[in-house]
Structure 1
Amino acid sequence: MTSSGNGSTPASGSDVTTTGSAEDGGPEPTDDGELIPEDATEIREGLIEWYREDHREFPWRETDDAYEILVSEVMSQQTQLDRVVPAWEDFLETWPTVEDLSKADQSDVVAFWSDHSLGYNNRAKYLSEAARQVVSEYDGEFPEEPAELQELMGVGPYTANAVASFAFNAGDAVVDTNVKRVLHRAFGVRDDEDAFETAARTLMPEGESRVWNNAIMELGAVACGTTPRCEEAGCPWRGRCRAYETGDFTAPDVPTQPSFEGSRRQFRGRIVRTLGEYDALAFDDLGHRIRVDYSPEGEHGREWLRGLLEDLAADGLVRMDESRDPPVARLRE
């Protein structure tokens, strides 16, 4: 498997297209992956062999520790994986076990999250609270089933299933953006959540959620991205792929990540980092520290800052005291 290349060569020899549809002559997607054969043994074995021969190396793929995997899953939400690796390693060096994290000051965890630009800081808060749940409600041992993992704070169906799969080999088929793209292109699965879930369950070999989910997500990320790289990545499904055969590489729309620079997320992070350095700050003092063009009565002034603080307060990260003159803000303990 290679990590470079600009496209793929369809079996038909035609140019790769990524904009076709049934309306303009492309093949109609099927309901739930009717192109998946009843005996999918060859398909399954081909993908698993492809993955085992060569795949991207990430440290969380070398562990079955549920705590370490949960941290990686939460960090990976809308964050590029090359940025996650050093953050994940630093996090585990700071809080090596779920017991260590459960004892940590939540403001320290939030500050770490912000310092490493890991996205919404409420994820750090939820991760901290989930650790306390594991220790207090499960005697420090993570539950193994997806349904029970969802009882942990901030753990939704996807994350619960990923932890169950990669830590305990006890998950269901994972369906993320990469998997949807693969299923739609290879087997004509229509762009519908239930259809994707059905097709993914049909394909996954029983009792092999750990290797299977890693493998099919890797296929979507490395070989079947927005620009497909069928030949360069040695896609094991080329001989059966609907898109490869027809040259129609249409895929479900993928939402674009809004720019971080100048975003509310960026300034929320700056607020958390700044308040981490002070016991409390008056609104205007805080505003001038997070934005050079802060002007109390201007577009980026007190009302703009108040909106950010209210968001953070709703997430349980910041406390505002408006009974004081001037009003002040501080991190919530």
Structure 2
Amino acid sequence: MTAESAQWFAETDTESVQDALRSWYRADHRSFPWRETTDPYEILVSEVMSQQTQLGRVVDAWEAFLDQWPTAKALSEAERSDVVGFWTNHSLGYNNRAKYLHEAAQQVTEEYNGQFPTEPTELAELMGVGPYTANAVASFAFNNGDAVVDTNVKRVLYRAFAEIHNADDPDYETVANALMPAGESRIWNNAIMELGGVACGKTPRCDEEGCPWREWCHAYQTGDFTAPDVPTQPSFEGSRRQFRGRIVRLLGEHDEMELDTLGHRIRVDYTPDGEHGREWLRELLSDLAEDGLAEVDEAGDVPIARLQK
């Protein structure tokens, strides 16, 4: 871990960061059937299928595959041509993935007496199972993995933590493992991958999806949502239009708000006298007033913002 990252962990309430993500995930997440099982065979099938196919399309194929070959033993006894034919018929990508999955099932049946190994290093000995897939199966089946670091997770870490964003050679794996609560790889990896897939995609939906890390997020504070797989700044992110949208949404929820309260709610680095302070906020409200959307009431001791009636 870099010195900068070590300093961040020393200065940050990582327990609150962890709790926020777990609570967000438990409250609401996309429902996929492989998230409801701890069967390593079923999870391995889902991981292999998901390598080249959108998750929504995997569900039907995964269920049909398990209907036909419900266990590793059943798959090991199948004709390889049938397995490859299934893969092709369901447009699941490279056919060699089906071949390797079939061979992995034979290994489990013949070399492991039908019992999947539980350690990532052992799982990686199965045909076609690389370190990432081995760790995912260990995490989701046995709660026994390291932090998963895929493209989505890298995007989350890069945006959330300035120490990663500013590093010449970011150490994603070390930071991800330091951040993951000990012994909780199943829920943690599901949660951070969900965050990257739902709230922190290439086009982020921070407020819409209630991202639980907005309080700490470097990108949310600065409006810089670039990432390794998002090399250019999306025109909407960090724009005045985005912040005007946040103002309208909040005033719609609360009827009226004091200026500084509103400022802190739409931007975590808001300071009344700072670069993004009252003057900046009044300019946004002035834009909205010209559009007939908002107004500022100066009659009392504290200015109040509200939507125009």
Q: What code does the residue aligned with 1:154 have?
A: G
Offset of 1:253 from its aligned partner?
A: 2.2
Segments of structure 2 that go 5 or more residues without pairing to the other structure are 232-309
Indicate if the aligned counterparts of 1:33 and 1:195 stay in contact, CA closer than 8 A.
no
Greater relative contact order (CA < 8 Å, ≥ 6 in sequence) = 1
Q: What code does the residue aligned with 1:86 have?
A: D
The alignment status of 1:115 with 2:89, answered yes or no, reads yes
Instruction: Give CA-to-partner distance per residue, 1:56-103, whole Å, 9 cap, x none.
Output: 000000000000000000000021111100000000000000100010
| Among candidates 172, 181, 196, match of residue 172 of structure 2 | 196
1 CA distance for matches of 2:128 and 2:4?
32
Identity in percent: 70
The aligned residue for residue 179 of structure 1 is 153
2 CA distance for matches of 1:192 and 1:214?
28
The alignment status of 1:242 with 2:215, answered yes or no, reads no
> What value does the CA root-mean-square deviation take over the aligned residues?
1.9
The aligned residue for residue 107 of structure 2 is 133
Aligned length: 227
The aligned residue for residue 274 of structure 2 is none
After TM superposition, the structure 1 = structure 2 runs for residues 163-312 of structure 1, keeping only pairs within 5 Å, are 163-188=137-162, 189-190=164-165, 195-253=171-229
After TM superposition, the structure 1 = structure 2 runs for residues 23-172 of structure 1, keeping only pairs within 5 Å, are 32=5, 35-36=8-9, 37=11, 39-172=13-146
Q: State the TM-score, normalizing by the size of structure 2.
A: 0.70
Distance 1:81 1:208, change over 3 A: same
Indicate if the aligned counterparts of 1:170 and 1:209 stay in contact, CA closer than 8 A.
yes
Q: State the TM-score, normalizing by the size of structure 1.
A: 0.65
- Greater helix proportion: 2
The aligned residue for residue 252 of structure 2 is none
Offset of 1:201 from its aligned partner?
A: 0.6
2 CA distance for matches of 1:193 and 1:66?
34
2 CA distance for matches of 1:96 and 1:254?
39
Indicate if the aligned counterparts of 1:106 and 1:128 stay in contact, CA closer than 8 A.
yes
Indicate if the aligned counterparts of 1:33 and 1:187 stay in contact, CA closer than 8 A.
no
Offset of 1:39 from its aligned partner?
A: 4.1
2 CA distance for matches of 1:51 and 1:80?
20
